[in-house]
Amino acid sequence: MKKITFYILSSLFIASMALAGMSNADKDKAYDCSGIYMANYFLPSGETFEYSMKEKSMASVKVLKAYALEIGINEKEWDEGVNKGVDKHYGSKYDEAKTSACHAFVNKLVPNGEEKVKKVIQTLY
């Protein structure tokens, strides 16, 4: 009886940990935003931008990855998803609306996301 109770409790604990992570929709959005952020960082020549936007984009990519790893997403899975996002957006022009939507997403998804991004920006140099 103890073994059965232990098995049931263990299963519930593992299931609750799995639910604590990112939903598939959030992962897809995070991958897409990472691709947008990377495209911002590697804007084609002649594109108009503010340097601070590049800094915030790179910091946001770092914060998203750190959060994903923190909640238990496998690094290989994360990197593969981000690579798809980068492939989708690399070479595209700066889109302020998409970038702003991604900033809002990061701030909502990651606890203290805005503060974490600001902190990473300060450590870039």
Q: Is residue 13 part of a domain?
A: no
Cα gap 97→76, rounded to integer Å:
29
The three-state secondary structure class of 1 is coil
Cα gap 21→90, rounded to integer Å:
27
Q: What is the pTM of this model?
A: 0.79
Q: Is residue 9 part of a domain?
A: no
Q: Is residue 101 part of a domain?
A: yes
Mean pLDDT rounded to a whole number for the chain: 84
For residues 7-12, average pLDDT:
49
For residue 56, what are the contacts with CB-CB under 8 A and spacing of at least 6?
A: 103, 117, 121
14 versus 81: which is more confidently predicted?
A: 81
- 92, 79 in Cβ contact below 8 A? no
Q: Is residue 12 part of a domain?
A: no
Number of folded domains that form the chain: 1
What integer pLDDT is reported at residue 46 of this predicted model?
62
Q: Is residue 17 part of a domain?
A: no
What integer pLDDT is reported at residue 17 of this predicted model?
44
Q: Is residue 7 part of a domain?
A: no
What integer pLDDT is reported at residue 54 of this predicted model?
87
Q: Is residue 55 part of a domain?
A: yes
Sign of the four-CA dihedral 45, 51, 58, 114: negative
Cα gap 68→62, rounded to integer Å:
10
Q: Is residue 103 part of a domain?
A: yes
- Show the domain range for 112: 22-123
| Burial track 83-105 (b if 16+ CB lie within 10 A, e otherwise) | eebbeebeeeebeeebbeebbeb
User: Quick count: other Cβ atoms within 10 Å of Cβ 67?
Assistant: 18
Instruction: Express each pLDDT in 35-94 by its tens digit.
Output: 999 998 887 666 666 778 889 999 999 999 999 999 999 999 999 999 999 999 998 888
